[in-house]
Structure formats: structure tokens, C-alpha cells
Amino acid sequence: MTGEPILPAAADDTTLEQAVRTSAISINHPAGTCRAGVDDASVVDPTLRVHGVTGLHVVDSSVMPTLPRGNIHAPSIMIGERGAHLIADA
């Protein structure tokens, strides 16, 4: 058995568009904004140190140079673990 419809029945495209605009959400995870790498476009180096800023590391999902198709939880945990070791060993 199915439940009630989530969206109201739309008599026209305008009503349907409004229903989608008010109820749609994104499942995207904000990540990859401080890409790690060795090129000029990267924000942090492979050891997660911010280029040009002494003593500052970025240790979160923002350092992912490319994003996985799945959930970023597990890769984020691994970045945190690796970052903790890199900072402790420095």
C-alpha cells in the first residue's frame, strides 16, 4: 500500500513548477572547495598545508581534488585520520 502523494496534483505546468521549487532539496555534499594538489590552482599541498600560509592546514572534505559519486562520509574520515598523522608528525 502506498501513502498519500507528496506533491499536490498539478493542473498546469506553472503549478507543478512551483511545487517542485518549494519542495526540492539537494543531496549534494559541499566539498572540493580547497583542492589539494601540486599545481598552481590547488589551495593545499599533498600534506594538507595551505600554500603561502605557515602553520595552517585544511583537514576536511574540501581538499578532495575530485569528488566520489557516493557519500563523502568515509573519505572525509580518512582525510581526518591522515591529516591528524601529518600534523602530529610535523
Q: How many domains does the chain have?
A: 1
pLDDT-based confidence at 7, cuts 50/70/90? low
User: Could you give the CA distance from residue 61 to residue 71 in angstroms, rounded to a whole number?
Assistant: 11
Residue 84 vs residue 6, higher pLDDT: 84
Say yes or no to pLDDT of 67 above 90: no
**67 inside domain:** yes
Spot the catalytic one: 29, 51, 57, 73.
29
In tens, the pLDDT along 9-62 reads: 777 888 888 888 888 887 777 788 999 999 999 999 999 999 999 999 999 999
**6 inside domain:** no
The boundaries of the domain holding residue 77 are 47-90
**4 inside domain:** no
**25 inside domain:** no
Q: What is the pLDDT of residue 71?
A: 87
Specify whether 51 is catalytic: no
**8 inside domain:** no
Helix (H) or strand (E) holding 80: helix 73-89
Residues pairing with 44 in the sheet: 36, 50
